[in-house]
Amino acid sequence: MLLYKSKVGIILFLAVFFTACETDYILDAGEFKPSVVVNCIFKEGQPWIVNLSFSRDILNNRSDNFSIAKASVSVIEKSNGREIILRHTKDGNYQSDIYPPQPDKTYELVVNVNGYDEIRATSIAPKKSNVVNIISDEVDKSTTKVNFEIQDNASNYYIWNVVSSSKVDPLDTAYNGNPKDLVRSIVKFNNLNGYLSGVGTESGNDAVSTGGLFSSQVKNVDDENSGTSGGQPGGTASKKYLRLMTVSKDLYNYYKTVEKFVISPNHNSSFSHTPEIYSNITNGLGIFAGYTEQYKEIK
């Protein structure tokens, strides 16, 4: 009986202790003013597309992202001062088909939205890298290692992955300028893998290089069972390609933080720290960055 009373006393003590530590707080966030979100990842030779929207209030379940249809948007080519005016099409997208981005040129984005400070951002689309000596080596039945060499005279940032295509499932090169869509495309192919080691740069970034020898391991896919090639009537065996993006430093930093955000658990937990997504937008949020891209068939 004494032992039973002791256990009851301990339970009551713990119950009082834990309940006594609970405190309710009322969060006064004040009036929310949304920020302007700019999304533009531009590629050489492709039309300029800039998407504008307002950020949402994460403390308000009824808050949403609203596109911005009335804004002044232009891109300035810094080498000659040429101003490219972008016109609103729909859903907050501003577009221009004239004077598309050219490699190794610096561009400045200028956005004016009523009631907000002028928004600016600057970036480039680097020259394409020279990719040679692409060799595939089967590690085992499930994995193939792709080795390749990049020969560059200037320091660049690289992101790459290995993709497959067939007549049934063509090579995915479509991209409308919205970073979210490019990320979705990349995730479809098991994320981009770009590991450049042994080179240090400012801001702790370890991925800038003037080229070198690199490799990537890719899982072998059974084409007949995957529904992407010869198992389908009229299909052919899928071809594999090395997809290499030579990207601006802004774009590299953006995707590295997106990668950390995607793998970070419990974004809504008070016990975890959500990685901050990189942005180079002055007086706003989002990204304005350029890249060049190429596909090399893997024999």
Quote the Cα angle for 8-13-16, to 5°: 125
Is residue 294 classed exposed, middle or buried when 0-12, 13-18 and 19+ CB atoms within 10 A define those classes? middle
pLDDT surpasses 80 at 131: yes
Which pLDDT belongs to residue 66? Answer: 86
Which pLDDT belongs to residue 102? Answer: 95
Between 38-42, 98-102, 118-122, 231-235, the lowest mean confidence (pLDDT) is in 231-235
Q: Collapse the DSSP code of 281 into the 3-class scheme (helix H, G, I; strand E, B; otherwise coil) and give the result.
A: coil
Q: Model confidence over 89-101: pLDDT tens digits? A: 999 999 999 999 9
Q: Model confidence over 277-290: pLDDT tens digits? A: 889 999 999 999 99
Annotated domain spans of the chain: 130-262
Q: Which of 242, 46, 204, 191 lies closest to 125 in space, CA to CA?
A: 46
pLDDT surpasses 90 at 266: no
Which pLDDT belongs to residue 233? Answer: 37
Could you tell me which residue, 122 or 3, shows the higher pLDDT?
Answer: 122
Place of tokens 């490799």: 215
pTM: 0.73
